[in-house]
Structure 1
């Protein structure tokens, strides 16, 4: 199936529900999270804190090999701050509404894979998975909600056009 760009209409997610919609709350909450977490990635404290997740990730471990602990953290921080910028611009520009939400969703899809790759997520003393440890397991669990917020913005930002539906 071929998908053409003209088959989709981009819109600012919260425009359809009014300026004080719950989608606006989700957007700005995600902006705060990405700015805060992104800025923290430029500290040694945070670089060391995320190292176990990155080192054990089949998706992201190459960052440590290529850039080292702090360099990997800088790269992730730059991506997180870029995501915040796209989300902010997305409050005013429809294509950025979709881009920022997609970047946010991709972030949380990746971090949720840490459940499978990070040692210590399953709590052995409670019988193993699905019992999860306070750290890192419960720390990662919040990303389920953040992924849902991101997908809500994304799905509302991208609408199929009537002329594009069903064509290949």
Structure 2
């Protein structure tokens, strides 16, 4: 048991690098998908309802509800609306930013200053994403009436979209861990530099 604990303790730095690789995979994959129509359409409810991001779109919420495209399906009138709304242009930009943040965090393996920026940006991006739990109605199970009323709806019953968003708590914490590791390395380098001068 002691040898396992020692092994885990000795591998802490490698595990932090594993976290950087995990962030890279998630950011590049999700950021890359932002170039595709279905993913760009899928983020519209989050962006349109966000006071921090809605200005990127030309249309006001909740107009988007009339122009939702089912995943994997193309409805031409909906595509035209999303084009006019700047849905795709914004998604391309957002995807690029997400990929860059992932790369900066990953580069922290070799460069502490770059990694510090990446880790803090990962934290900040995740924090913004978590605000969707407050601003986006679609993150909670809706109340349905009729023959089959919804027994559980609203807070705290997360919908599929809400379950996707809440996972950013992990990204937020991981970004801070990576940033803290880089900060520790920067402080150590400055201390060693000062010590060598003296």
Shorter-chain TM band: 0.7 to 0.9
Aligned partner of residue 65 in structure 1, secondary structure = coil
Aligned partner of residue 138 in structure 2, secondary structure = coil
Q: Residues 132 and 138 of structure 1 are in contact (CA less than 8 Å); yes or no, is this contact kept in structure 2?
A: no
Distance 1:118 1:102 in 2: 24
Distance 1:127 1:69 in 2: 29
Distance 1:55 1:30 in 2: 26
Report Cα offsets for 1:62-84 as digits up to 9, x if no partner: 12239710011011011011112
Report Cα offsets for 1:85-139 as digits up to 9, x if no partner: 212322211101101111111110000000000013233542532x222322111
**Counterpart mapping for 1:83-122 below 5 A:** 83-122=101-140
Distance 2:98 2:130 in 1: 16
Counterpart of 1:8 in structure 2 is none
Q: Residues 23 and 106 of structure 2 are in contact (CA less than 8 Å); yes or no, is this contact kept in structure 1?
A: no
Distance 1:18 1:42 in 2: 37
Counterpart of 2:176 in structure 1 is 151
| 31-40 or 58-67: bigger deviation | 58-67
Aligned partner of residue 126 in structure 1, secondary structure = coil
| 47-56 or 135-144: bigger deviation | 135-144
Counterpart of 1:134 in structure 2 is 159
Rg comparison, structure with higher value:
2
* Alignment root-mean-square deviation, CA: 2.7
Q: How many residues align?
A: 148
Distance 1:51 1:57 in 2: 10
Unpaired runs of at least 5, structure 1: 1-16, 164-168
Q: Structure 1 segments of 4 or more deviating over 6 A?
A: none
